[in-house]
């Protein structure tokens, strides 16, 4: 039929273009847009995660997906806490280091020349050089079958650099790093920060 691998058929999509129906469910994952990439710190270890998302406004919570074979999974499961550290795009070299070696063998703060600073509300360390740090307590762990296990963390304390520019945040998916992109609608929401 000359269609792409796993294609089941065609139908009309938006603007009369053809929509290909895929048999392989992984193509749905490939079609997803990029996700924020963050450093997850727990104890005195650092790992990189793109499986990261907002979870709830009230209470303010986020979630992170960690593969069970990672040292970080072991550390979060036992300590029930983590810090989300938002990197700058200039820290890409540190992302490559912390996202490829395991803290089981190496001190990644030393390897990546990053400074650990003790968090205020939890026992773990946060990364001083990151403009944003969210201290989180795990309130739920999702061990449902799948490559990543998810931890939901309630935010206990927030550190934000006064010069932080949210639109400079780094995004990642399937081997590609990028920044957020253009604003299509809506004003700047820097003024939403609460007392």
Mark residue 174 as left, alpha or beta (left: phi above 0; alpha: psi -120 to 50; beta: remaining): left
Name the residue nearer to ligand FMN (CB basis): 102 or 115.
102
Q: How far is the CB of 6 from ligand FMN (least distance, A)?
A: 25
Q: Which of 71, 83, 10, 3 is nearest to 42 (CA)?
A: 83
Beta-carbon count within 10 A of 72 CB: 24
The piece of 54-62, 65-73, 134-142, 187-195 that touches ligand FMN (CB under 6 A) is: 65-73
Of 62, 63, 66, 122, which one interacts with ligand FMN (CB under 6 A)?
A: 66
Q: How far is the CB of 14 from ligand FMN (least distance, A)?
A: 31
Name the residue nearer to ligand FMN (CB basis): 107 or 167.
107
Could you say whether residue 71 binds ligand FMN (CB under 6 A)? yes
d(C-alpha 90, C-alpha 94), whole Å: 9
Could you say whether residue 47 binds ligand FMN (CB under 6 A)? yes
**Interface positions, 148-177, toward ligand FMN (CB under 6 A):** 148, 172
Of 41, 61, 72, 133, which one interacts with ligand FMN (CB under 6 A)?
A: 72
d(C-alpha 96, C-alpha 99), whole Å: 5
- Report the length, in residues, of the chain: 195
DSSP string, 44-112: TEEEEES-EEEEETTTTEEEEEE-TTSHHHHHHHHH-EEEEEEPPGGGHHHHHHHTTS-TTT--HHHHT
Q: How far is the CB of 3 from ligand FMN (least distance, A)?
A: 32
Name the residue nearer to ligand FMN (CB basis): 47 or 126.
47
Tell me which residues touch ligand FMN (CB under 6 A): 37, 45, 47-51, 65-67, 70-72, 95, 99-104, 148, 172
């Amino acid at each position: 039929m000359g269609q792409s691998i796993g294609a089941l058929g065609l139908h009309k999509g938006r603007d009369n273009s053809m929509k290909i129906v895929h048999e392989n469910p992984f193509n749905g994952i490939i079609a997803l847009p990029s996700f924020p990439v963050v450093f997850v710190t727990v104890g005195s270890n650092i790992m990189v995660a793109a499986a990261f998302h907002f979870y709830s406004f009230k209470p303010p919570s986020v979630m992170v997906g960690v593969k069970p074979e990672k040292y970080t999974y072991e550390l979060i499961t036992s300590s029930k806490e983590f810090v989300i550290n938002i990197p700058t795009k200039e820290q890409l070299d540190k992302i490559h280091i912390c996202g490829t070696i395991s803290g089981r063998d190496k001190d990644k703060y030393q390897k990546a020349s990053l400074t650990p600073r003790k968090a205020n509300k939890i026992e773990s360390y946060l990364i001083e050089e990151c403009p944003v740090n969210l201290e989180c307590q795990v309130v739920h762990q999702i061990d449902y079958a799948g490559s990543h296990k998810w931890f939901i963390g309630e935010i206990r304390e927030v550190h934000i650099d006064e010069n932080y520019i949210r639109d400079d945040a780094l995004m990642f998916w399937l081997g590609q790093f990028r920044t957020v992109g253009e604003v299509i609608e809506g004003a700047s929401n820097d003024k939403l920060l609460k007392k």
